[in-house]
Amino acid sequence: MRPIRLISFGYLHLPIGPDGSPVPPAADRVEDVRDRLRDPAAARDILDLDGLHLRVQGIVLNTPGARELLANLADYADLPAGPRRIALGCAGGKHRAAGLTELLARELRARGRQVDVEHLHVHLPRVLKATDTGASA
């Protein structure tokens, strides 16, 4: 099987397209987790951490709906004519998207897949914006 590239990103850091909406990275599947998974940054003790940290990954994994989404993405990646790129986005790309991307990479590697991971915005500061339902990264 060919390698798969996983990309995490933050919608609030993306360029805006001609239609006024953010332009996500090119991918076979783009998953917007802003409305699907509760923002773990609400747990104040992880604000200074990011999705590369095991504690944040644990919180993301235990969010209602996360295990089902992770299983769905892993099964999708294993399809015979499966994707080359999957992009996961949340508000700022720091907690949910980065954590879920790391969890998915771990699962796919356990299934014998070669995985490349790219985190576009995990290193950036948290973003607070009232228009996002999660209100932060």
pLDDT tens digit string along 83-129? Answer: 999 999 999 999 999 999 999 999 999 999 999 999 999 998 877 65
Q: Is residue 22 part of a domain?
A: yes
Q: Give me 41's structure tokens.
A: 């940054």
Look at the alpha carbons of 135, 125, 12, 95 in this order and tell me if their dihedral is positive or negative.
negative
**pLDDT more than 70, % of the chain:** 91
Average pLDDT over residues 6-14: 97
Q: CB under 8 Å to 93, separation ≥6 — which residues?
A: 8, 9, 10, 11, 13, 119, 120, 121, 122, 124, 137
Q: Is 131 domain-assigned?
A: no
Chain-wide mean pLDDT for the chain?
Answer: 89
> Is the residue at 125 inside a domain?
no
pTM score: 0.89
Residue 129 lies in a domain: no
Determine, yes or no, domain membership for 124: no
Owning domain of residue 99: 4-119
Domain count, the chain: 1
Distance CA 26, CA 108 (A): 20
